[in-house]
Amino acid sequence: MKSSVIVFPGSNCDRDIAVALEKMQFKNKMVWHKDTSLPKSDLIVIPGGFSYGDYLRSGAIAGKSLIIDEVVKAANSGCLILGICNGFQILTETGLLKGTLLRNKNLKFINKDVNIKVINNSTKFSNKYKKDEILKINIAHNEGNYFTNSNHLDELKKENLIAFKYCDEKGNINEETNPNGSLENIAGIYNQKKNILGMMPHPERMVDEIISNKDGINLFSSLLN
């Protein structure tokens, strides 16, 4: 499977995701944001970081870069797109995913391992996970507080487009287990066609027992499945 990782000035998880993809036997290429064509890819990853120093709004400037037109075209023709952290913010700024990510409710940058629950396990990104499986995945963000209008929230629920929700070790989803104030504890969502996933947690950081755990591996093996 071929993957491309888009690199912006200020991306800082691009190498991490590349290492994770290569470990999982993806044939990966790095693509600079000024490029105007994409290598043939089955998966495009928009990595985490602080593209353009989060100027204006997180992801706003990167969302207008040259390569994004190609990413939108690829997305519309069914290519799989994964946006992690700043990548999720960029996807909402381009309009590929609806809603937006506000400042964390407690106004603090949060960097910790949190529990998330797999809500939909029947997509290209999640088929190797069990339904309601609880994962421990790292989050590291300042703007992770997902917000959308009530019509879209209804659509997310009705069409099973919520990918992950923040919870505790036992799977309880409530205000106490919500690290950043996200609407209904949402940690990741799909678009309607389910070929685009945006998520705040970092699965690429959870692919090796030595540095963390392996809870992120199944996301990549789902894609290969």
Partner 1 sequence: MEKQFRLNLKKNKLKFSVTVTLKKDVLDPQGKVVQNTLVNMGMSNLKNIRQGKHFEIEVDENDTEVAQKKIDEMCKKLLVNLIIEDYKINKI
Residue 183 interacting with partner 1 (CB under 8 A): no
Residue 11 vs 180, nearer CB to partner 1: 180
Element at 101 (helix H, strand E):
strand 100-102
Check if 152 is active-site: no
79 is catalytic: no
* Residue 33 found at the interface with partner 1 (CB under 8 A): no
User: Smallest gap, in angstroms, from Cβ of residue 98 to partner 1?
Assistant: 8
Which residue from 200, 207, 195, 189 is spatially nearest to 21, judged by alpha carbons? Answer: 207
Residue ranges in 72-131 that form contacts with partner 1 under rule CB under 8 A: 93, 99-100, 102-103, 105-107
The least distance separating partner 1 from the CB of residue 57, rounded to whole angstroms, comes to 6
Contact call for residue 181 and partner 1 (CB under 8 A): yes
For β-strands 43-46 and 186-190, DSSP reports them as unpaired
Pairwise CA distance, residues 46 & 151, whole Å: 27
147 near partner 1, judged by CB under 8 A:
yes
**Identity of residue 101:** L
* Residue 60 within binding range of partner 1, rule CB under 8 A: yes
Residue 74 C-beta: closest distance to partner 1, Å: 22
Contact residue for partner 1 among 64, 124, 128, 136 (CB under 8 A): 64
Cα–Cα distance, 122 to 106 (Å, whole number): 33
Q: Is 216 in the site for partner 1 (CB under 8 A)?
A: no
Residue 162 one-letter amino acid:
I
Q: Does 57 bind partner 1 (CB under 8 A)?
A: yes
Backbone phi, psi, residue 99, to 5° = 90, -170
Cβ neighbours for 211, distance < 8 A, ≥ 6 positions apart: 205
Torsion angle of alpha carbons 118, 71, 30, 32, nearest 10°? -130
106 or 172: CB nearest partner 1? 106
Alpha-carbon gap, residue 156 to 159, rounded angstroms:
6
141 catalytic? Reply is no
Residue with tokens 């499977």: 1
Kindly list the catalytic residues.
85, 202, 204
Residues at the interface with partner 1 (CB under 8 A)? 56-57, 60, 64, 93, 99-100, 102-103, 105-107, 147-149, 181
